[in-house]
Amino acid sequence: MKRLNTQLQEDGCPLELILLIRTLLAACKEISFRVSQGALAGVLGSTLSDNVQGERQKKLDVIANHILRDILSESGYVKAVSSEEEDNVIGCHPDGKYLVSFDPLDGSSNTDVNSLIGTIFSIMHAPQWMEPDDPSAFLQPGTQQVAAGYVLYGPSTMLAMTTGRGTHLYTLDKTHGGFLVTKANVQVPEQTNEFAINSSNQRHWEEPMQSYVTDLIAGSEGPRKKDFNMRWVAAMVGDIHRVLCRGGIFAYPFDKRNPAIPGKLRLQYEANPMAFLMEQAGGLADTGHGRIMEVMPTEIHQRVPVLLGSKDEVETCLTYYR
């Protein structure tokens, strides 16, 4: 099987980006080990503090954040990092060429029940005229990403990543500690009969999404004329991985409970990297009102509605918005 380095070289990645990705994945391998120890290492459960998002932090949230922050800060390749768990950006090396944004442990509420969780990351070029701790350096649209992906901590530890030359899946071979290509140039099926959404929030959605999901649930007797299955992992990495592997649509739409917050998922740490992966695999990624990767961010913790997945199904969903 092809090694990570070989695939990155074939995709035309510059050496410094390859070294940065290897450094980031070294941190993820350490997180994978900590996750696998679970209760044996005393890392389950919550802390007594909330993060900048107003969410109660899990112990593994804090551990994963520290591992990524420290390893990337010391690498020399990174000018600054931005984490979902941090209030502000963290300046690293003044001559670093890249910016790295990450959700250190997506789906961390699943840790206590031994379900799927993962790390999501996004890499962009660093504006060299800005100071390392200037948050405006990160206010770039998703089209400026040079690499993005996630590491899924499941029965096996898997990496989904793109550098703009297709989306590839890798599996961590624990016998030698490296990631090997197990599926190159993933293509998401254009049609699907699966959807992933938190239906308990249906009463809070906008009318287009309410109507769309109602028609899905109506099945073969409804206007769609076919039966759909719903799947929901409660971790974006798990749901997106399933969509990449066998098709589907993942949605976390606008929620009217707080009109000041347009969505639950963060543009920088979740929506943009997943959109990059999905588009490189032939899928679509939209907010319901435009392409996710064309959204111009106004602050580092900005949230957006998310529709991701099989091309035909996302397009069908968007007709309800139009």
Separation of alpha carbons 30 and 225, rounded Å: 47
The set of residues, in sequence order, having a beta carbon less than 8 Å from that of 15 and lying 6+ positions away, is none
Asked if residue 294 belongs to a known ligand binding site, the reply is no
| Domains located in the chain, CATH noted | 4-183 (3.30.540.10), 194-321 (3.40.190.80)
Asked if residue 65 belongs to a known ligand binding site, the reply is no
The set of residues, in sequence order, having a beta carbon less than 8 Å from that of 55 and lying 6+ positions away, is none
Asked if residue 84 belongs to a known ligand binding site, the reply is yes
Asked if residue 106 belongs to a known ligand binding site, the reply is yes
| Overall pTM surpassing 0.85 (yes/no) | yes
Q: What is the pLDDT along the chain (322 residues), one digit of tens a residue?
A: 899 999 999 999 999 999 999 999 999 999 999 999 988 878 777 775 666 665 667 889 999 999 999 999 999 999 999 999 999 999 999 999 999 999 999 998 888 899 999 999 999 999 999 999 999 999 999 999 999 999 999 999 999 999 999 999 999 999 989 999 999 999 999 999 999 999 999 999 999 999 999 999 999 999 999 999 999 999 999 999 999 999 999 999 998 888 888 889 999 999 999 999 999 999 999 999 999 999 999 999 999 999 999 999 999 999 999 8
The set of residues, in sequence order, having a beta carbon less than 8 Å from that of 16 and lying 6+ positions away, is 77, 97, 98
The set of residues, in sequence order, having a beta carbon less than 8 Å from that of 165 and lying 6+ positions away, is 11, 12, 280
Asked if residue 16 belongs to a known ligand binding site, the reply is no
Reported as type and span, the H/E element at residue 121 is: strand 117-125
Asked if residue 107 belongs to a known ligand binding site, the reply is yes
Asked if residue 109 belongs to a known ligand binding site, the reply is yes
Beta bridge partners of 157: 153
The set of residues, in sequence order, having a beta carbon less than 8 Å from that of 74 and lying 6+ positions away, is none
